[in-house]
Structure 1
């Protein structure tokens, strides 16, 4: 179950990013604070995951 939780969380972030980008490009709300916050949070999460992945694998240049 532990191995399935990370891919499920990543898919959830990708889905929420897609929905946030859809709201930003087609919506007409006066403020898109939560949509931009979701995208920034995803960038941080994917950056941390990528950093630890390349740090542990050591295959950054191969």
Structure 2
């Protein structure tokens, strides 16, 4: 399986690295794995929905 870094996922989804890190730590990105102190995310993982918005139909 191919993995991408938190920075790459943040760029891909238009989020901050901190937000992607938060999603990983809270188990909201399926398949994300912490190796030592670095999160790696499956390349084909979908962007988790933003719970701050009621209507998530506007997601990319």
TM-score bracket relative to the smaller structure: under 0.3
TM-score (norm 2): 0.22
Bigger Cα Rg: 1
TM-score (norm 1): 0.22
Q: Which has the higher contact order (CA 8 A, sep 6+)?
A: 2
